[in-house]
């Protein structure tokens, strides 16, 4: 009789552990919940409820390989069964030649302790993490990181493609859940899995079932609806779903992050920043905090002081704790030797940075500098090949900071150049590990990084604003010329100004709607009121869509400008893009975030640009470019001067039929088209920085 008693005791203990796991999961403690389920399977290996709860939790965590191990035990479908859950993890982590040799690891899986902990941190569970990784978890720390997300692993924002085992795990989920159609958690798990597989119709069906069976899941379900809408580029619907999620739970992490990103896509930057700030109060996340730092550049109220303070907060929270990872540099301190210069960017494809960076790679003095380009992420196109053929070493890496830092150190880089700032993504913390003795921020994002390990900010007389040097964590190194040069990549002919044929003036802006603030629209409306018959063309990708036009038209309507005077156009093929400048007479630069390449594109096509300079570094692009081109009269210093300059141009241009050809000539003759001069100036700066480092070493 003792055996049955012992067996009953095991079952009752396992049942208590399952109940405790369910309680912990409902509270958002996925780490302890998983451990309870695991203990239940260890005590009673034939307790199918324990294996089911564990399997569904793992599936919700997007750890499909391990979920499949558990679910096979229940489904009895003839698949080989690993006898022990810990053994399944061990097998995945310990192939005979290391984890990287595991053939099941198709897409990239993060493996660092920091990555894994971060992924478990969102308060609504790992499924709320927006960073959609494949998810084949390959280490215990990664798994724990995803489980610690406050609303469950499915809330992880870092969502990238799925592993092959995802499909098997989903099939097993379907088989098991079909036997219990009224089980809310099963329906929810199926919804999460299908959402991960981008099977949105099925995801919505099962998430809807879960919500019907258990209305307490409203926050979780609506947040996943929001992410699906965001993926589908239905940004208004994404915001509405996120708001419903937040009505159920004001601190639901995934909803806040999706809401912030959807507002960003709509160009509603104050709301985007507010959502990101709220999400960071719940879960500190370096990538999302970087988005906040970068997005602050779009706000009219942002000052250099506020931006510096936020960047320093980012540094203190994420970069400074990595100080212990900084290793002694063994680079030979010879001030005159050939230097290895590394350039880091996720944008080495058909991105505006190409117009500034290709000439640098083309004209580097290879006798004095050995150039390395580190291209982060999978994006590539024909422009990527242009980069590849112009640099000695072109290295493609996943967006992961530890691997990037290790590769840079192994390559023996002397000077490491950050080309994307806080838009780099998860790999940005590689700079906090200081893999090179000298690190320089240049070109991509003109603002302080806040990083103590970033040594220099490479600017010029205009950028950053004189008097704000103390608001940069980096030493500001000012080049004796414009901080960049411009490669248009086209010989498109300059077209006559359209006002010569139409008789009235068309203003234009080809910048992102994110840069068009309420204050910008007020000034543009004032200009339209003062220039009779004038129109304004706004061109950018997705601006042909009504949902993107509506908020802007509402602002113009408030200022008394009818919609008929506002024209919209979407993105163009690169072969057509420059021809679109033939539709406008005068370009109006937005603020506080000025145009970059678009300003130079306009000048190249003979279109004058009116800019309003300010104290933020990003509000000095226009002043830098126009001054370098000998067009400082188009640089304004107050809103009133901005309006009067635009109106004066509108009155004057019809009388100057050759003005457009003259503008191209002015740009062609300026330092902005002196590619070799720019590269030599930068090389002198790099050599100066290197000599300073060598002097300190010696």
Query: At which residue do the structure tokens 């036009």 appear?
Result: 549
Angle in degrees, 0-180, between the axes of helices 621-628 and 597-604, rounded to the nearest 10: 30
CB atoms within 10 A of CB 132: 20
Q: How far apart are the C-alpha atoms of 289 and 313, rounded to whole Å?
A: 9
Three-class DSSP labels, 481-543: CCCCCCCCCCCCCCCCCCHHHHCCCEEEECCCHHHECHHHHHHHHHHHHHCCCCEEEEECCCC
- Three-class SS of residue 181? coil
Contact 313, 305 (CB under 8 A): no
CA–centroid distance for 298 within its chain? 15
**Which strand (E) or helix (H) includes residue 116?**
helix 113-120
Query: At which residue do the structure tokens 């990103």 appear?
Result: 261
Give me the pLDDT at residue 535, please.
Answer: 97
Per CATH, the number for 284-485 is: 3.40.50.11380
Q: How far apart are the C-alpha atoms of 479 and 472, rounded to whole Å?
A: 16
Contact 590, 613 (CB under 8 A): no
**For strand 393-397 and strand 369-376, is the pairing parallel, antiparallel, or unpaired?**
parallel
- Three-class SS of residue 337? coil
Give me the pLDDT at residue 106, please.
Answer: 29
- Residue 443's closest CA among 429, 424, 426, 427? 424
Phi, psi dihedral angles at 77 (to 5 degrees): -100, 15
Give me the pLDDT at residue 77, please.
Answer: 43
Query: At which residue do the structure tokens 């990084």 appear?
Result: 449
Query: At which residue do the structure tokens 């070799």 appear?
Result: 676
Query: At which residue do the structure tokens 């411009």 appear?
Result: 486
- Residue 580's closest CA among 600, 553, 607, 545? 607
CB atoms within 10 A of CB 367: 7
Q: What's the token pair of residue 21?
A: 């796991």
Task: Encode pLDDT of 205-230 as tens digits.
Answer: 999 999 999 999 999 999 999 999 99
- Three-class SS of residue 607? coil
Q: Domain 499-672 is of which CATH architecture?
A: 3-Layer(aba) Sandwich (3.40)
Contact 609, 599 (CB under 8 A): yes
Query: Taking the model in full, what pTM does it have?
Result: 0.84
Task: Encode pLDDT of 582-625 as tens digits.
Answer: 999 999 999 999 999 999 999 999 999 999 999 999 999 999 99
Angle in degrees, 0-180, between the axes of helices 184-196 and 218-231, rounded to the nearest 10: 20
Three-class DSSP labels, 284-331: CCHHHHHHHHHHHHHCCCCCHHHHHHHHHHHHHHHHHHHHHHCCCCCC
Rg for the chain (alpha carbons), in Å?
Answer: 28
In sequence order, the 6+-apart residues with CB closer than 8 A to the CB of 282 are: 122, 123, 150, 251, 253, 256
- Residue 56's closest CA among 37, 40, 79? 37
Give me the pLDDT at residue 59, please.
Answer: 83
Q: How far apart are the C-alpha atoms of 603 and 332, rounded to whole Å?
A: 45
Q: Residues 580, 584, 586, 590: is their CA dihedral positive or negative?
A: negative
Q: What's the token pair of residue 161?
A: 């493609």
CB atoms within 10 A of CB 490: 14
In sequence order, the 6+-apart residues with CB closer than 8 A to the CB of 171 are: none
List, for the chain, all residue ranges whose pLDDT scores fall below the cut of 50: 1-2, 5, 77-122, 130-148, 158-161
Per-domain residue ranges for the chain? 2-165, 284-485, 499-672
- Three-class SS of residue 415? strand
- 10 Å CB burial of residue 637 (0-12, 13-18, 19+) is exposed
Torsion angle of the four alpha carbons 230, 235, 241, 247, in this order, in degrees rounded to the nearest 10: 120
Query: One fold for both 284-485 and 499-672?
Result: yes
Contact 201, 101 (CB under 8 A): no
- Residue 496's closest CA among 574, 606, 598? 606
Give me the pLDDT at residue 510, please.
Answer: 97
Give me the pLDDT at residue 355, please.
Answer: 93
- Three-class SS of residue 419? coil
């Amino acid at each position: 009789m003792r055996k049955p008693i012992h067996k009953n005791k095991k079952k009752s203990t396992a049942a208590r552990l399952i109940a405790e796991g369910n309680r912990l999961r409902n509270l958002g403690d996925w780490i302890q919940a998983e451990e309870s389920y695991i203990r239940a399977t260890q005590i009673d290996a034939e307790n199918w409820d324990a294996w089911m709860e564990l399997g569904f939790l793992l599936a919700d965590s997007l750890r499909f390989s391990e979920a499949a191990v558990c679910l096979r035990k229940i489904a009895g479908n003839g698949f080989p069964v690993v006898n022990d859950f810990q053994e399944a993890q061990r097998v995945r982590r310990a192939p005979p030649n290391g984890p990287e040799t595991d053939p099941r690891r198709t897409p990239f899986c993060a493996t660092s302790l920091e990555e894994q902990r971060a992924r478990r941190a969102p308060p609504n569970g790992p499924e709320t993490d927006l960073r959609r990784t494949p998810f084949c978890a390959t280490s215990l720390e990664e798994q724990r990181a995803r489980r610690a997300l406050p609303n469950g692993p499915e809330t992880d924002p870092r969502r990238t493609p799925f592993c092959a085992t995802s499909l098997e795990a989903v099939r097993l989920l379907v088989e098991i859940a079909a036997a219990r159609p009224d089980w809310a958690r099963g329906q929810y798990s199926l919804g999460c899995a299908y959402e991960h597989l981008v099977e949105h119709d099925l995801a919505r069906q099962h998430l809807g079932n879960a919500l019907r069976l258990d209305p307490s899941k409203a926050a979780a379900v609506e947040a996943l609806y929001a992410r699906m809408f965001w993926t589908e580029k239905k940004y208004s619907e994404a915001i509405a779903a996120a708001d419903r999620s937040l009505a159920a739970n004001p601190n639901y992490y995934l909803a806040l992050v999706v809401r912030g990103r959807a507002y960003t896509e709509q160009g509603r930057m104050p709301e985007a920043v507010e959502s990101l700030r709220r999400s960071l109060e719940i879960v500190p996340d370096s990538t999302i905090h970087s988005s906040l730092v970068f997005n602050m550049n779009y706000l009219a109220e942002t000052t250099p002081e506020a931006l510096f303070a936020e960047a320093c907060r980012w540094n203190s929270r994420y970069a400074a704790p990595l100080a212990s990872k900084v290793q002694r540099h063994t680079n030979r301190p010879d001030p005159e030797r050939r230097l290895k210069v590394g350039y880091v960017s996720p944008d080495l494809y058909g991105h505006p940075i190409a117009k500034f960076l290709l000439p640098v790679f083309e004209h580097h003095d290879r006798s004095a500098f050995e150039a390395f380009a580190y291209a982060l992420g999978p994006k590539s196109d024909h422009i990527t090949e242009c980069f590849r053929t112009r640099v000695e070493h072109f290295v493609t890496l996943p967006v992961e900071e530890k691997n990037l830092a290790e590769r840079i150190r192994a390559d023996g880089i002397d000077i490491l150049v950050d080309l994307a700032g806080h838009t780099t993504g998860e790999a940005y913390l590689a700079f906090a590990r200081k893999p090179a003795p000298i690190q320089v921020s240049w070109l991509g994002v003109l603002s302080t990084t806040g990083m103590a390990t970033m040594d220099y900010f490479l600017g010029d007389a205009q950028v950053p604003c004189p008097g704000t040097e103390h608001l940069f964590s980096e030493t500001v190194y000012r080049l004796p010329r414009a901080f960049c040069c411009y490669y248009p990549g086209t010989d498109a002919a300059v077209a006559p100004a359209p006002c010569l044929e139409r008789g009235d003036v068309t203003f234009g802006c080809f910048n992102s709607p994110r840069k068009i603030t309420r204050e910008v629209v007020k000034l543009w409306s004032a200009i339209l009121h003062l220039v009779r018959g004038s129109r304004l063309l706004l061109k950018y990708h997705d601006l042909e869509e009504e949902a993107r036009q509506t908020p802007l038209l509402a602002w113009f309507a408030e200022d008394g400008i009818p919609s008929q005077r506002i024209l919209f156009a979407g993105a163009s093929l690169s072969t057509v893009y420059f021809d679109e400048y033939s539709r406008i007479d005068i370009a109006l630069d937005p603020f506080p975030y000025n145009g970059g390449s678009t300003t130079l594109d306009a000048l190249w096509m003979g279109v004058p640009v009116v800019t309003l300079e300010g104290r933020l570094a990003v509000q000095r692009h226009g002043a830098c470019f126009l001054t370098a081109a000998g067009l400082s009269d188009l640089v304004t210093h107050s809103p009133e001067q901005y309006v009067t300059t635009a109106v004066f141009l509108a009155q004057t241009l019809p009388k100057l039929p050759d003005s457009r050809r003259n503008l191209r000539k002015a740009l062609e003759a300026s330092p902005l088209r002196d590619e070799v001069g720019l590269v030599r100036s930068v090389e002198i700066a790099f050599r100066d920085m290197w000599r300073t480092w060598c002097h300190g070493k010696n």
